[in-house]
Structure 1
Amino acid sequence: MASHRRPKQPSRARVSVLTAAAATAVALSAQVSAHAAPAQPSKDEVKAQVDKLLDEQEQAAEKYNGAKDRADQLRKQADQLQDQVARSQQQLTELASGLAAVAGDQYRQGGVDPSMQLMLSSDPDKYLTQAASFDQAASTQAETLKSLKDQQRRLDQQKEEAAQVLHELDGQTQALNDAKKDVQTKLQEAQKLLNQLSAADRAAILRGTDGAASRGASRIDPSTLPPASGYAATAVSAALSKQGAAYVWGATGPSTFDCSGLMVWAYKQAGVGLPRTSQAQGSYGTNVGKDWSNALPGDLVIYYGDQHHVGMYIGNGMVVHAPHTGDVVKVMKVDAMPISTIRRV
C-alpha cells in the first residue's frame, strides 16, 4: 500500500533567504530605473522650447543690431574728431612758428632806441616805413597770440570730446560682444534640442510647417495684392522679391536678412533710410495705432511689448517678414503675433 507522506516544507531559514533575495532584486530594479536615460521629449515639447529660444535669440539679435549701429556711429565720430585734432594741432604749430618769427624780428631790432635809429639812419624815409612795418608786426603778434590761445582751447576741447567718444565706444563694443554671445548661446541651446529629433521634424519646427509653430505661410503672388503708392510700392515690391531668402541675424541683405534688416533693405531700394532696429523703427514715421484694419501696404508692423520683431504690411491682412534662424523670408497673417504699433513711413 502506497505511503501518503506530506511534502517536506522549506525551512524558515530558506524562506528568509529567498525573501531577502527577492527584496534585493526589487531594489536593484528600482535603482536601474532611476538611473535610466530620461524619456526623449516629444516633438511638441521640443517645438515649444525651441520657439521660446528663437524668440529670445531674436530679442538678443535686435540688441546686437542696436549696439552695432551705435558703435558704427561712434567709430565714425571718433575718426572725424581725431582728424579735427590733427588739423588743429597743425594749425597750432603754424601759429606758434609765426609768433616765434615775429618775436625774433622784434628782438633783433629792439637793441637800439627808435629815435637813435632815426638819427643814425642814412635813409629816414626808409626807416619810417620799417617802423610802420614793425608797428604792424606788433599788432599781428597780438592777434596771433590771441589766435594761438583760441586754437589751443579748441584743441583741448576736441581732445576731450574724442576721449569721451572713444570711452563710449569701448563700452558699446562690450555691449556688442555680450549681445553676440547671447545670440550664439540661444542658438546653441535650440540646436541641442533640435538634434534630438529627426531631420523631418527639425525642418517642420524651423520652417513652421506643422501648424502652431508657424509664423509664416507659402509664397504669395504680388499681383494678388492691393496696389501700394509712392515709395511704399517700391519697398513692398522689394521685400516680396526676397521671399525664400534665408534669415541670418544681423544681416541687411541683399541675399540674407533679419527682421529689421529686411525693412531697412526694402526701403533703401525706395531711397528711404530706416533706423536699424525694430525698436527704433517702432517710433519712426507716423503712428497708425494697433488696429491693422487701418494699415496700408508699406506700413511697418511692430510686434511684442519690447518691439523685437517687425514685418511689412502688404495688404489682404498679410505682412512679409524674416521670421527667425532656420526660416526664410515669407508672408504671414498680420495678427499672427501681438501687435505693438503700426508705423507709416
Structure 2
Amino acid sequence: MTTRAPAIAAHDLIKTYPGDVKALDGMGITVEAGTVFGLLGPNGAGKSTTVKILTTLARPDSGSAVVAGHDALRHPDRVRRAIGVVAQKSGADPVATGRDNLLLQGRLYGVRGAALTRRVDELLDRFDLADAAKRTVRTYSGGMQRRLDVALGLVHRPEVLFLDEPTTGLDPEARSAMWEEIARLKGDEGLTILLTTHYLEEADRLAEHIAIVDRGRVVAEGTPDELKGQLRGDAVQVELREPVGPVEAQLLETALAEFAGVREAVLDGVRLSARADDGPAAVPHILAVLEREGAAVASVTVARPSLDDVYLRHAGRRFAEADTTLVTAGGAR
C-alpha cells in the first residue's frame, strides 16, 4: 500500500521581524493530503507569518517547508503553481467585474479558451455569483467579495488551498454562509485546505485536524474531539464581582486544590477557571471557599470542555485574553 506524502510539511520555522519581534519560534506542522487543517490561534500568534512562508511570500530565518511536494525555499515558483491563496484582504480588482476577475486569474495560471470559460461559469454558479458576474466588484457585499476571493483561489484547480482568516470582518449571516461554502470544498477530490482562524467555533466546525498556535509555536495538536477529550470532567467558570490580587489568587487556588474532584484551578483577575469530575457537585464547595476568603461571586457556569479550555490548559490563559495581550504588545504576527 502506497502512503501519500503530506501536502504540507514545515519544521522548526523561525522568523524574527525588526524590533526583535519573534513571529515564529520553532513552528512546525504536517498536513495530510485531502484534509482540512485548522491553524487556530489568537491575533498575533504567528498564523499569518506561517502562511506567508508556506505560500512563498516570506522566507524564514531558519527551518524548512515543503508544499505540494516542492521545497518552498528552493523552488517557490513550483509551489505557486500548485497552490491557491485567499488572503485576509481581498485580492480582487474592485473596478473589474466578477467574471473579468476570474478570467484574468485563470490566464495568469495559463488556463485558456473554452476550458477557462467553463471553469469560470462553474465557479460563478458554485459560489452563487452568476447573477452578479457582470457587476463591478466594488458593488458586492462583504460576503460576496469573500466568495469571489475563494473562487479566484480555485480557478486553476490547485492541490492546496490556503484560507487565511477567511471570515474576519463578516457579519454573522455572511460568516455562516462562508462556513457552508468551505464545508462543501471538503468534497473536492484531492484538495487540501489549510485554514487559519482565531474563531474557536470555526475551527471546531470546519477542521478535521487542528494545531493550536501560541507565541509562534504549536502548543497542542489533534482532532477537535481528541483535544477536548484530553480534558476530563466539566469546565467550571466563576466570575467575581471584583478582581483579586496575585497573593489572594494563590491562596484561593491552593484552597480549591484541596478539594478532591477539582483540578487545574486558575484565577486571573475576576475569572476563576477550574476542571471538576462532577461540575454541579463541585460548585457548592467552590462557592464556599470563595465566600470564606471574601471573594464575592457574580456568576457561575458549568459546561463540557471546549477548545477555549484546551487553549487555557496549554497556554496558561484564555483565548480572548491572549488575543488582547498579543495585539497590545505587538507580538507574533
TM-score tier (shorter): under 0.3
TM (norm. structure 2) is: 0.17
TM (norm. structure 1) is: 0.16
Larger C-alpha radius of gyration, 1 or 2?
1
More helix by share: 1
Instruction: Give the structure, 1 or 2, with the largest relative contact order (CA under 8 Å, sep 6 or more).
Output: 2
More strand by share: 2
